[in-house]
Amino acid sequence: MELKRVVVTGLGAVTPLGNDVETTWKNALDGVSGAGPITQFDASKFKTQFACEVKDFDPGKYFDRKELRKADRYTQLAVAASEECLADSGLDLEKENRDRIGVIVSAGIGGIKTFEEEVSNYTKHEELGPKFNPFFIPKMISDIASGLISMRHGLRGPNFGTVSACASSTHSAITAFDLIRLGKADVIIAGGAEAAISISGVGGFNALTALSTRNDSPQTASRPFSASRDGFVIGEGSACLILEELEHAKARGAKIYAEIVGGGMSADAYHLTASHPEGIGAKLVMRNALEDAQMNADEIDYINVHGTSTPVGDPSEAKAIKEVFGGHAYKLNISSTKSMTGHLLGAAGALEGLFSILAVKNDIVPPTINHEEGDDDPEIDYNLNFTFNKAQKREVRAALSNTFGFGGHNACIIVKKFKS
């Protein structure tokens, strides 16, 4: 069968860099860090006392008081991002067949704050017997953001969340892309959300020694591809994309940001938390994406890398890029926007996909901040252009976005300039 073409017609975001797409994108291009001391709990006894938090977010704009009690913070952020992307798309839902509009918004963890609060409340009052919030389970589960978004708008198309740790929302976008090009939906809201800046979230990642402990300088703590990197900076937020079948978009006169042309998936089959040091899964997922897009490696101009600022992950991804792209690797722009946003876990792929779409649309590549002269890792080839510290204008015909998750889950999506 002939596959349908899929385009992006709406964007929405609530991130450590801003509570909308415009502010987030501007701050990313300006190289602003979203990191600062943790305000959501007392982190003074933790090894890591900082994070990339969403600032000045008012869930009351999206929920009344009664509904707010039923929604974990991760779901609140997802609803806010979905509302922005729907508005941006210009879709008139009153005129649409809502049986053919779906929602696939994912979380790697889900309602960890709700789980933590309910268990803590039980242990404090254990002598009184079990007493739990009746909304405990639906607040906590990682698919509920998708369900709630669909309920708010009566969207009866495909509805679920994919879970693959930090690759979750890239898997969401790939799944949405596949469903639309197979003709199973006209429009899908695809994305991710996460809100794990909590006692158990930070404590758990500290126990893994996965987080940076640069407490004296939070804004410079996320430093991908630098020798002095010491772990990732945990972030929170949500990003959503409207993916739409091309002819459907054209029929309603939609603006088109870019075209989704391919997606790749693979597994490292190696380690619970670490990437394969030789980038075996990373090489495979990029090759799979290029094959799916029917593109040659030299047609890619920008890679938004997973680039978390961990000792093993960064050099393995750089090695994989060199092997997949060969000589063209030195003509690419590469950047890790996690250096500014922190690592949004299950929402990372959607946000980094959004950055890739805007890079293609605007012919500019956001930077990898916090690299200092002389802070070079002998395992990394600095002849590659990591777009250190300053955004770079260039033609971006197509961009590739990598996300890798605990469990060895790898997902990669390719976007390119739309041409009718």
Task: Report the sign of the C-alpha dihedral through residues 226, 232, 236, 238, in that order.
Answer: positive
Tokens at residue 310, please? 């961990």
Sheet holding 237-245, edge to edge: 159-160, 101-106, 187-194, 237-245, 6-14, 258-267, 409-416, 398-405, 302-304, 333-335
Q: What does the longest C-alpha to C-alpha distance in the chain come to?
A: 68
Backbone angles phi, psi at 242, to 5 degrees: -95, 110
Query: Active-site residue numbers?
Result: 166, 306, 343
CA of residue 312 relative to chain centroid, distance: 20
End-to-end Cα, the chain, rounded Å: 21
Burial group, residue 188, by CB count within 10 angstroms (0-12, 13-18, 19+): buried
